[in-house]
Each structure stands twice: as C-alpha cells, then as structure tokens.
Structure 1
Amino acid sequence: MDAGTALPSLAAKTNEAAARRPFSLAARAALTTGLVLAAFLGAIGWTLSRTYAAGELNKLQDRLHDYTITYIAGTDPRRDGTPILPDSPPDPMFAIPGSGLYAVVLGENGFHWESSSALQRDFSFLHPLQPGQQQFIGPVDTELGRLYYYSFGVALDVPDRAPVHLTFTVAQTEEELESNMAVYRRSLVGWLATLGVMLIVLQLLLLRWSLTPLRKVASDMSRVERGNSDHLDSQYPAELTGLTERINAFIESEREQRTRYRNTLADLAHSLKTPLAVMRSQVESSSDLPGATRTPILDQVRRMDELVAYQLARAATTGRQTFASAVPIAGHAEDLVQSLEKVYAAKNVLCEFDIEDGAAFYGEQGDLLELMGNLLENGFKWAGHHVLLVVQMRQQSGRSRPGLSLSVEDDGPGIDEDKVEKVLQRGVRGDERVKGHGIGLSIVQDIVRAYNGELTVDRSPEFGGARFSVVLPPT
C-alpha cells in the first residue's frame, strides 16, 4: 500500500464543485439589468427613429406642396389657353440640371413643361389628375433614382374659353431625406449608448451599495470561521436580521453541543476507568486465585482498558469545524516536548523545532494535542538522540483558513515500506519489546481523517529514521 494514498484527496471534488458554481448575485443582477436596459433603449431608439422618419416625411410633403402651390400661383393662361409658367423658380435647385429637385407640369393636348433641373429626364411615370385631386407618393424607383413626388390637379379659368386642366408635380430624390435620417440615427445611437453606459454604471453602483450588507455577513462569517470572533455582531438590515440571528443561534448551539459531548465523554471515561482499576486491583491482590487464573483475567482487564482508552480518544475527536478558533502551535509544542523530555530523560533526546511564525491549527485544542502528542511521543520512543518537528501553513486562494503541514522525524531504525500498513493498525507496535498500547498512530489516523487530511510515512531525509507527515487541507 502506498502511504501517500492512505486518505483520499478532495482536489477532484473541489474542482468539480468550483466548475458548477452558479453566477453570483451581482453577476445575475448586472446581466439581467444589461439585457433589460438594452431591450428598453433599443425600443426607445426604434420608436424615436420611426417618429423622426415620419416627421421628416411630413416635412418633405409640406415642402413639395408649398413648391407646387407656388408654381400654381405664378401660372397664367394665354387667351388661347396655353399656360405661362413663372420665370423665377421657388428654389434655385430647380434651375440646376440633375439637382434632385424637379418640377413637371402636364396639360391637355400633349402639353408638357419641365424645370431646368428636369430637362432630358424621363417622367413617363406621371399621370394627369382631375382638378382638386392631389397625391403624395414615394419612394418610387425611377431612372432618376428613388423619388418622392407631390401632384396637384387644377383648372385655370380662361375668358370666353373652357378651363385649362393642368397637373403640377414637384419631385425630390430621397438622398436628402436619407442623409438627414443617417445623421439623426448616428446622433441617436451615440446618445443612447452614452445613456446606457451611464445607467449601467449607476446600476452597478446601486447594486454594490445594496449588496454591502451581504458582503458584510460574508466577511463576519469569515472572521468567525478564522476564530477572530465568536458570533456575527454587526448591525444588518431588517431583511437579514432573521438570517443572522439564526446563524448566531446555530453557532452557539454547535458549541454548546460540542461542550456537552466532551463532558459526557469525560464522565463516561471516569465511570469506566474506575471499575476497571478496581477489578485489576482486586485480582492482583487476591490470594485465592491461582496464577494460571489470575494472568488471563489481568490480560483481559488490560485489553478492556486499552479498548476503552482508544474508543474514548476516537470519539472525543471533534474533527473539522465550520466555526473554529485558531490554536497557536508553538507554545503547545514546547509544553509537550518538555513533558516528553522528562519521561524519556534517560535517552537524552534532543528535539528541534522548525515551526513557521504564526502557525496555527484551526480546530479543537484537544485534537491538536492528541495529534502532535502521539507523533512526538512516537518519535521520542524510537529516536536514538534526535527528533525534528516541522510545521508549515498551506495557503490557498479562495479559502478563508489555511491548511497545515506537520511532520515529525527521528533518527531511529525507521519503518520498512512493507510494514507501514501494519504499524498504522490499531493495537500494533513496531517492536513488542517497547512499552505501549499500540493505539497512538491509529488515533492520529482518526484525527487526520476527521479533518479530511492525509497521513504519510516514509524515511527521514535528514536523520534516516521514520518521518510521519500530516497534511490538512485549507478550508
């Protein structure tokens, strides 16, 4: 068995969860607002563009109508009924050939008159109108391009003759109308785009301000998780008060339950240990029991005592907690080593530290003492003269609390790879001649597993003995 795979890694699950992470509230609101705003401004732009186009078309019709009336007012018939058109046009563009503004008059008996701008142009698509009849048509595809034209039918009175029927037509290409529309559209798009950007920025600022209480809740939760605060203590809006009160109640309930659990286990330990101690004392002091009977009973009592010690230590392991205080490591490591140096004073073991400044364990203090104490005791037990404790923090972006890397090395005989799995089993000792219950490393495994960590056993590159390494992931 590869010691590096003793406990499963959570990297794959973490990456999968991150890939499925939904949009944030801010992203959802910004996306929704952007889509709604784009649709709204688009509808406004389309409406304004259509309104402007209708207004420009009405203005064109009125202008062509006015030109037509001007031509009609300046026209007089001769005695023979031949109409005389005015010499001065209402607009200089009528005198420029191909200017795009044309005037045409149709009359009876093949009468046809064109302004200078319309000479040599084809206006065969025009038709005479009855007196009083008028029409505005366009755009019409012609050889001159797309035209809008206004026609008006009149009857001019001639003394002692029948009225002269004429149809006055003024036409204009759509170039001017389209040019005005293009200028208006560019201006409209520019202003609407500027307005849209301003509204989006304003919306983002309002959204950021509106979500400030939620960010405050997240920040306070991170402080609680890191152990910098006992509960959420900020003032929140009424909509979040119920949520934060329930979170505080949950935090308090979790801590109270954990305390009651530990107290119950302590009472249970005392209740079981005392009867076992009495039983052992009675059996050892009894003179009525022969040795052949006393020894098996004492062995069973010892095994019961070891089993109770292991199960209580395993049950007392709290494991990874959402709301845990940071437990400094350096001070507790010094206390443990001082105690072990007294116990193993005869071996004259030197324990060195390589502990990162500010290194802390995010969990129960009892779990840290049990984890580090068992590893250090194992190192003192097997070491020749040297033990090394290395502690480093493991930072990871996106995680509120860092992970922990802890290893204990010694200069003892070490552990062969084929014996690692056996040594990590409960109740097994590396050397039966060495005093101990053989449950320390098994307890270490349970604690590491409870914190979703990983325990590996290999050779110390510096001392040549065993190296026990524990890696706890960031949370």
Structure 2
Amino acid sequence: MRAKSLRLRLFVAAAISLIIALFVAGTGLVSVFERYVVRRVGIELDTYIRQLAANVSVNPDGSLQLNRPLADPRFDQPLSGLYWQIVDDASGVKLRSRSLWDHVIDLPQDVLEPGIVHHHDLPGPSGETLFVSERRVIYTVAGVTRRLRMTAALDRKEIIAARSEFAGDVGLSLAILAVVLLLAAWGQIAIGLRPLEALRRSVNAVRAGEQKAIAVDEPEEIMPLVAEVNSLLDAKAKAIETAKARAADLAHGLKTPLTVLATDAERLRRKGETEIADELQDLAFGMRRLINHELSRARLQSAPGMAKEGIAIRNVIESIIRTLSRSPKGSRISWRVEVSTEAVAYISPEDATELLGVLLDNAVKWSNMEVRIAAQGENGLRIVIEDDGPGVSPDQIEKLGQRGVRLDEATEGWGLGLSIAADIVEAYGGQMDFGVRAPHGFQVTVLLPGLAKKISKMSRGSERD
C-alpha cells in the first residue's frame, strides 16, 4: 500500500482512534480498580479498628491493654506492612502492634469527631507510605471519660502491586481486543472500498474501449460521481465526433482547391514555367500530406487504445509490399520478409496498415536494393524494418529519439511519415527506436505490447489516475 492509499489512510485513522480509545478505557479501568481497592482496604482497616475498640480496656492506672489480639498474623510480624496503634489523647499513653516495632505513627493534629473515620497517607517505619485509617472512640472508666485515637494502617505498596497486576491483565486483554478490532476494521474497510475496485475496473473497461460508460450502480455514495464522469465521457465523445466531422469537412473542402492548384501547376509547366510549377506542386503535395497527418492524429486520439483481437501481421505486410511493388522504385527492390504467419499484433487493421505502410514506404524511398522485414515475439511483437540506403548519422539518431523533436524536422526528406508512425505506436503503448544497419543503412524497431501486458499497463494507469 502506498502512502496515498485511501485504504491505508482509513486503516491508520481507525488504528489511531482505536488505540486512543483503548488507552483511555484502560486508564479509566485501572483508575476505577484502584479506587475500588482503596475503598476495600479502608473498609478492612475500619474493621480492624472496630475489633480494637471491642477488645481494648483501660486499667485503673491509666495503661491500655488489648484483651484479645487481632487475628491477622501480620500484626505480630515486625515491619510486615500492616499495623495498628492506640493513643490516649489525654495521657498520651500508646499501645501498638508488634509489627510497628519501635516506630510510632505520627498522626496529624486534625479535628477528629467521635465515630468519624479519617484516611491519611503517612510515612511508615521503613520510610514507606502508609494508607492510614483512624477513628476516635470514647470510653468511660470509673466515671472518667477517656478519648482513644485508634489507627490501622497498610503499606500502600500492596495497593500499588494490586493495581499493577490488574493493569497488566487489563493491558493484555486490551491488546488482544485491539488486534481483533483492527482486523475487524481492516475487513470493514476492505468491504467498504470494494465498490471502488468495481469502479476502477469499469473505468479501465472504458479506457480499453470495451464499454462507453461506467457501468456501476452501487453504492449510492459514489453514484453522483459516476453520473458526472459518464456525462463527461458523453460530452467528450460528442466533442470528438464533432471535431472529426469538422476535420473531415475541412479536408473535403480543401481537396478541390488543392486539385485546382495542382492543375494550375501542370499548366504552368506546359508553358515552360517549370520553377513556379514545381513550387506550386510541392506546396499542394505538402498541404495534402499535412491534412492526412492531422486526420490520422484525430482518428488515433479517438481510438480506444487497444484492439480486442490480434491480427496476423504477415498478411498486412504482404498486402503493403504488393502495393509498393507497383511503384517504379518498389518494383526494383528485393524484399526479405522474415515474419511468421503466427506473428500477431494487438492493433486495429487500419492502424497496422498505416503504421507499416509509412515505415515500408520510407524504407523504399531510401533503400538502394533491399528492404528487410522481421517480426517475432510471443507476449508482444518486435518488428524490425531495415534498408540498405545511406542511413543517418549517430547524432541525427539521437535527435530523433529526443522527446518533442518532430521526426520530419529532424532530418530532411523524412516528411510526416515517421511522425504518424510514432503517434500510432504511442497510442497502443508501444515503443519505436531508430538505429544503423551494418554496414550501412537505416533500421527502425517497433515494439508492440501483447494483450496481457497492455491490460496490465492500462490497469496501472487507471490506478495512478
């Protein structure tokens, strides 16, 4: 997938949204779990305080005594992380769990109403942070009121450990969920964009000339686009037909003046004005060739760009050779045809005739004694036409290969023929190269793609569009 792919963009957007949503959800779940654990710990510590309140007694001498130890063995294990402490507000007498060892929990001097539970984060005996729950309980002993501040505390590391374990489990679960949701998102994107693939194939069929309009009827979201493109195709087809009709009308309208011009040139020649007659005849001939060239270009621009069925290229070559052999120079040429009867070109018969006719006519014009035609290839056709004429220099060949240089302007005497041939080859996605035939002469190589390669090239072209 390329960076400009709509499928990739949608998937990246879905992945980013999903990751953000799962991250927020995971953070929220961990936070909720931590608050739940803190509440549970607070309830548990409050239970210990209630047990302390039920089992503590004040001796006549003012000392405190726990009649029944708490059940959790961690209270008896030094620095275990679970502690309790009782302080007499009046006398300052303290009673502590063995787990506190010689440490005293330094409680804040806050106002603590009887029966109200306060929670604090305070330093512990080993420098750890304790989650402390405290409550004030009032006793009356021998008519004397005693206020006891009872405290139970738990190392916050246990809360953090529980939160970390929960976060790990949630993270793993959310990661699996993310993979499942990303796969589901990819499937949704693939299914959602499938109509675009049908649209691409339909556009490719229009490009290939297999249909005149885009034949897609769903989904509704792209139908306005399809309608606009079909309207554009229809308008383009009408514009091309109008342009072709006007070009044909123009060519037909110029035939009579050109004929009159040629007739006048012949009359001047009979009167002895040969120089003027030659100029008029060359002018008329050049205008006729220019008109034919532009008509050929107009026809190629409206052509589909690919023939559905191949033609036997040898039959076309032999037909052109029979025609050229009737000319004075063509009758003196030795023709070497090295083309198999199975050689096939995916090009319309009209374009094949015009292409090879131009190239063979050019070869006849410049050759001395021989013209060679060879063709070979399976998935694609390579046609080589050689003559034994004077050829062209390497610098002229390089100019012929430059983009934007007209072949008829690059070398004197080439005329518009090779320009027409180049247009035909380009219209069918082929390639035409020029070279030197050893020991002397000129060589033209035409590469025409096969049907599968042409379809592949057109498909890639529609994807780039």
TM-score normalised by the shorter chain: which range applies? 0.7 to 0.9
Contact 1:138 1:149 in 2 (8 A): yes
Give the corresponding residue for 1:384.
Answer: 369
Whether 1:97 and 2:74 are equivalent positions in the alignment is no
Contact 1:140 1:146 in 2 (8 A): yes
AA in 2 matched with 1:388? I
Q: Which residue of 34, 38, 43 corresponds with 2:19?
A: 38
Give the corresponding residue for 2:244.
Answer: 262
Cα 1:135/1:299, change in 2 over 3 Å = same
Cα 1:310/1:116, change in 2 over 3 Å = same
Q: Looking at both structures, which has the greater relative contact order when contacts are Cα pairs under 8 Å and sequence separation is at least 6? A: 1
Contact 2:314 2:343 in 1 (8 A): no
Cα 1:34/1:163, change in 2 over 3 Å = same
Q: Which residue of 217, 223, 245 corresponds with 2:199?
A: 217
* Residue 65 (structure 1) shift: 0.8
* Residue 451 (structure 1) shift: 8.2
Q: Which residue of 418, 443, 448 corresponds with 1:441?
A: 418
SS at match of 2:198: helix
* Residue 136 (structure 1) shift: 1.0
* Residue 424 (structure 1) shift: 4.2
Distance in 2 between the 1:276 and 1:383 partners?
Answer: 32
Give the corresponding residue for 1:292.
Answer: 272
Provide the TM-score with structure 2 as the length reference.
0.79
Contact 1:341 1:349 in 2 (8 A): no
SS at match of 1:148: strand
SS at match of 1:120: coil
Q: Which residue of 27, 32, 52 corresponds with 1:71?
A: 52
* Residue 236 (structure 1) shift: 2.2
Over residues 241-297 of structure 1, what are the superposed CA-to-partner deviations in whole Å (9 max), with x where a residue is unaligned? Answer: 23223323333443343344334333433332344335544664x6x986323x345
SS at match of 1:66: helix
Distance in 1 between the 2:44 and 2:431 partners?
Answer: 88
Whether 1:173 and 2:173 are equivalent positions in the alignment is no
AA in 1 matched with 2:361? E
Distance in 1 between the 2:320 and 2:262 partners?
Answer: 27
Give the corresponding residue for 1:83.
Answer: 64
Cα 1:128/1:212, change in 2 over 3 Å = closer
Deviates more, 1:310-319 or 1:296-305: 296-305
Contact 1:251 1:323 in 2 (8 A): no
Give the corresponding residue for 1:308.
Answer: 287
AA in 1 matched with 2:285? E
Over residues 329-364 of structure 1, what are the superposed CA-to-partner deviations in whole Å (9 max), with x where a residue is unaligned? Answer: 643563243232343244241222379966434xx7
Contact 2:265 2:281 in 1 (8 A): no
Cα 1:183/1:171, change in 2 over 3 Å = same
* Residue 57 (structure 1) shift: 0.9
AA in 2 matched with 1:376? L
Contact 1:232 1:248 in 2 (8 A): yes
* Residue 63 (structure 1) shift: 0.8
AA in 2 matched with 1:109? S
Q: Which residue of 435, 442, 446 corresponds with 1:466?
A: 442
Contact 1:320 1:452 in 2 (8 A): no
Distance in 1 between the 2:412 and 2:302 partners?
Answer: 31
SS at match of 2:118: strand
Give the corresponding residue for 1:433.
Answer: none
AA in 2 matched with 1:350? R
Matched positions, count: 435
Cα 1:141/1:226, change in 2 over 3 Å = farther
Q: Which residue of 386, 393, 399 corresponds with 1:409?
A: 386
Cα 1:290/1:413, change in 2 over 3 Å = closer
Distance in 1 between the 2:428 and 2:306 partners?
Answer: 15
* Residue 85 (structure 1) shift: 0.8
For residues 359-378 of structure 1, what are the structure 2 equivalents within 5 Å? 359-361=345-347, 368-378=352-362
* Residue 102 (structure 1) shift: 0.9
* Residue 112 (structure 1) shift: 1.8
Distance in 2 between the 1:198 and 1:64 partners?
Answer: 42
Whether 1:163 and 2:149 are equivalent positions in the alignment is no
Distance in 2 between the 1:427 and 1:204 partners?
Answer: 56
Q: Which residue of 156, 178, 194 corresponds with 2:176?
A: 194
Cα 1:215/1:365, change in 2 over 3 Å = same
AA in 2 matched with 1:377? D
AA in 2 matched with 1:414? G
SS at match of 2:408: coil
Q: Which residue of 126, 147, 151 corresponds with 1:143?
A: 126
* Residue 177 (structure 1) shift: 0.8
Contact 1:349 1:383 in 2 (8 A): no
Cα 1:128/1:439, change in 2 over 3 Å = closer
* Residue 426 (structure 1) shift: 5.3
Distance in 1 between the 2:310 and 2:65 partners?
Answer: 114
* Residue 320 (structure 1) shift: 5.6
Over residues 278-328 of structure 1, what are the superposed CA-to-partner deviations in whole Å (9 max), with x where a residue is unaligned? Answer: 5544664x6x986323x3453244223212222212312145669533266
Cα 1:446/1:131, change in 2 over 3 Å = closer
* Residue 450 (structure 1) shift: 7.7
* Residue 122 (structure 1) shift: 4.3
Distance in 2 between the 1:220 and 1:92 partners?
Answer: 79
Contact 1:128 1:166 in 2 (8 A): no
SS at match of 1:231: coil
For residues 42-57 of structure 1, what are the structure 2 equivalents within 5 Å? 42-57=23-38
SS at match of 1:376: helix
